Amino acid sequence: MNLHIVALFKFNENYLMEAVELFQKLVRETRKEEGCLQYELIEDNEQKGTFFLIELWESSEHHNSHNGTDHLFEFRKNTSKILTETAQVYKGFKIY
C-alpha cells in the first residue's frame, strides 16, 4: 500500500537561500531511491519561509529505508540550526 507524507518546514527568513539549496540536494537524491514515487518541494504562497515536502512512497518499508540515508541525515543536521520550529510530518494511506 502506498504511503503518503506531507512534511511542513518553517525556516528563518535570513536563511531561505541556504534552505532551498539544502532542499534541492535532498530532493535530487531522494528521487533516485527505490520506491520513491513522488517527492516534491512546495513553497507556501502566503507565509515566507514555509515549505512543504509532498511525498509518495511505494510502501512504508521504502520510506523506512529513506529514513536511514546519508542525504536525509545531512539535511536534518544542516537544517536544524535554521528552522524556526521542529518540522511537522503527517503520514497516511489513501482512503478514497
Other beta carbons less than 10 A from residue 11's beta carbon: 21
Tens of pLDDT, residues 64-75 = 999 999 999 999
**Owner of C-alpha cell 515549505:** 51
From the list 58, 68, 78, 59, the residue with the least C-alpha distance to 15 is 78
Tens of pLDDT, residues 22-72 = 999 999 999 999 999 999 999 999 999 999 999 999 999 999 999 999 999
Q: What is the CATH number of the domain that holds 19?
A: 3.30.70.100
Q: Number of structural domains, the chain?
A: 1
pLDDT of residue 65: 98
Cα–Cα distances in Å, from 14 out to 27, 42, 81?
Answer: 22, 19, 12
Please answer whether residues 63 and 3 qualify as being in contact, where contact means their C-beta atoms are separated by less than 8 angstroms. yes
| Enclosing domain of residue 56 | 3-92
